[in-house]
Structure 1
């Protein structure tokens, strides 16, 4: 599957040029933003960990082995990119135990930067945002065009597409989801089941968002929409008055798109018709997601870019810094700027 099939049209025009991202791990840095005051005491040991070219699950396994505890005792808020330099929190459940010596977990790919005790374990999704520092190298683009595009993105946000990494190489996870959906079966292996369900759901969301980008309504509320604030998981229907809410213009309030699952769609009117057409184009996947026990949920269509700033460390290097809500993809921002030559896995 092509990039356009997996994500959809760009909102701000064609790429301003080309660049390379992730030539080295330091080109893609992620810092978890966690607004939880740690007490300094309790049966959970929290670790602030720096990882380089290492995925979150492998880091958890290494920490568990070094601590001499089962993997189920390790918790983390979210998965971070492997091909990157990332910093995130982990927690270990150590009831009645002293702090373990964790040096065996560390090497050039993993460093424990800080440890702190707390009464509770780290829950999935507990972080409030992720901070990104991206360095685009081998940049071939007109700087004036880039500046104009960056200002536009800063003011208007970008479509909140799921990134290509959700779908596997050339969409292999979507192909896998379709195969199981056609048989209305689920993979026995837990990790595979989770990955394919997520890919199928993300694919349908991206198709709905692509339709909204195509008709120009991805960043505008329509009567019948379900609206949500950037950092809220609650939603409310849009009537005529809600479509004029000034918080839409300042990128605080957004229309949402479907994360398919069981239950009636809460949208109405033209929005419901559009989403029904997307489901009708992939009926097996839509039915499969519902019968797998997934619940119908919503995701904001527009991605606001917090604290976006940029500079040029070299003549062919652009460095970006910004903050995104959890579950959103930094590559959605890059995609509206440049094409990434020869790179299809990010």
Structure 2
């Protein structure tokens, strides 16, 4: 299977400079719940820069004298950013933290809590981004695309972080799953195999984006021929208002979280999707997860493989909320902030703003 480049919905081209550096890129976690103020665990609000979450956890765990696995965290954060996140450790080590000092880490706050923080215990993340070399006409284009994003949302591709510096971690992941590569470290194995799952999801999403673009220009019958789908497989798709077209058998979830259900009344569910009440999901292949039906399955099965890993459903389309912008004309800086649900990448917003090439 060859790699497909992510496809984006707008046929535009914006030129700007974005540096993934602590000066121009900030990420802050939004906790899933309020911390109780009592309990056997200590939650730290930590600011870090120029280091991975693993490196930050190692620095703190080594200082207090515990194993990294005794600490909790909600999500992994970008190395090349200023990130603010929440971690936990047993409260009995609180005094040892008083002497902790690190040039790349600052503990902003401490609070007691009843439970260890677990992966995924997030509502979402708040991003602050500075785009540079944005001149007048580009500023107007960014304003226009940002308005579209606010109204419509963006595709929920996995970001480059999942695929490594060269973008081919998924190759080793597939070799591991095929038994053609042996790696002892469990976390490394899981990361690489997860990269292959992400690769399959991204390829599926690109195929569905391609279909949605075709339906903007061609009839349902013509799009069926171009996509090599049976006659009437796309019935009821072109008339849908939203960009990302739903298919019979798509698996939807209430947004931003909720139960999974299959599309049966296409027009009705398309209206609910357009109103941001629900959103379609894509398959992360593996065991213990539900597959789509009907016409949706015809495309999904192209990117489904048997593997001895747990699978999941992931939102294919997400909403970008709390959008704020500020243009500093004398510096040609375009400052932007927004919130995304957990597990989503700021690069999806930036690539739509940039007009990343389709294909």
Q: Same-fold call, TM > 0.5?
A: yes
Task: Tell me whether 181-190 or 299-308 shows the greater mean CA deviation.
Answer: 181-190
Mapped to 1, the partners of 2:178 and 2:190 lie a distance apart of: 17
Q: 1:139 to 1:269 in 2, by over 3 A?
A: same
* Residue 306 of structure 1: how far off its partner (Å): 1.0
**Equivalent position of 2:95 in the other structure:** 100
Q: Is 2:152 the partner of 1:156?
A: yes
Task: Tell me whether 221-230 or 210-219 shows the greater mean CA deviation.
Answer: 210-219
**Equivalent position of 2:27 in the other structure:** 30
* Residue 16 of structure 1: how far off its partner (Å): 1.8
**Equivalent position of 2:67 in the other structure:** 70
Instruction: Decide which of 263, 267, 272 is 2:292's aligned counterpart.
Output: 267
Q: Is 2:11 the partner of 1:13?
A: yes
Mapped to 1, the partners of 2:289 and 2:31 lie a distance apart of: 34
1:253-308: per-residue Cα shift (whole Å, max 9, x none)? Answer: 111110000257531111101011233xxxxxx23xx22xx233111111210111
Task: Note the aligned Cα RMSD (angstroms).
Answer: 2.4
Q: 1:233 to 1:54 in 2, by over 3 A?
A: farther
Q: 2:280·2:317 contact (CA, 8 Å) conserved in 1?
A: yes
Q: 1:226·1:267 contact (CA, 8 Å) conserved in 2?
A: yes
Mapped to 1, the partners of 2:298 and 2:88 lie a distance apart of: 45
Q: 2:64·2:93 contact (CA, 8 Å) conserved in 1?
A: no
TM-score, structure 2 length as denominator? 0.84
Task: Tell me whether 100-109 or 27-36 shows the greater mean CA deviation.
Answer: 100-109
**Equivalent position of 1:223 in the other structure:** 248
Mapped to 2, the partners of 1:233 and 1:93 lie a distance apart of: 32
**What is the total number of aligned residue pairs between the two structures?**
325
Q: 1:7·1:164 contact (CA, 8 Å) conserved in 2?
A: no
**Equivalent position of 1:90 in the other structure:** 87
Task: Tell me whether 215-224 or 25-34 shows the greater mean CA deviation.
Answer: 215-224
Alignment partner of 1:20: what SS?
A: coil
Runs of 4+ in 1 over 6 A off after TM superposition: none
Q: 1:75·1:121 contact (CA, 8 Å) conserved in 2?
A: yes
1:12-35: per-residue Cα shift (whole Å, max 9, x none)? Answer: 22432232232x312110111014
Q: 1:42 to 1:242 in 2, by over 3 A?
A: farther
Mapped to 1, the partners of 2:113 and 2:66 lie a distance apart of: 18
Task: Tell me whether 10-19 or 80-89 shows the greater mean CA deviation.
Answer: 10-19
TM-score, structure 1 length as denominator? 0.87
* Residue 186 of structure 1: how far off its partner (Å): 5.4
Q: 1:48·1:113 contact (CA, 8 Å) conserved in 2?
A: yes
* Residue 246 of structure 1: how far off its partner (Å): 3.7
Instruction: Decide which of 119, 135, 159 is 2:130's aligned counterpart.
Output: 135
* Residue 185 of structure 1: how far off its partner (Å): 5.2
Instruction: Decide which of 274, 277, 295 is 1:249's aligned counterpart.
Output: 274
Mapped to 1, the partners of 2:182 and 2:284 lie a distance apart of: 18
Instruction: Decide which of 54, 57, 60 is 1:57's aligned counterpart.
Output: 54
Mapped to 2, the partners of 1:87 and 1:266 lie a distance apart of: 36
Task: Tell me whether 167-176 or 43-52 shows the greater mean CA deviation.
Answer: 167-176
Mapped to 2, the partners of 1:316 and 1:154 lie a distance apart of: 23
Q: Is 2:313 the partner of 1:317?
A: no
Mapped to 2, the partners of 1:242 and 1:92 lie a distance apart of: 49
Q: Is 2:203 the partner of 1:188?
A: no
Q: 1:241 to 1:174 in 2, by over 3 A?
A: closer
Q: 1:98 to 1:266 in 2, by over 3 A?
A: closer
For structure 2, the 5+ residue unaligned runs are 213-236, 238-242
Mapped to 1, the partners of 2:113 and 2:65 lie a distance apart of: 20
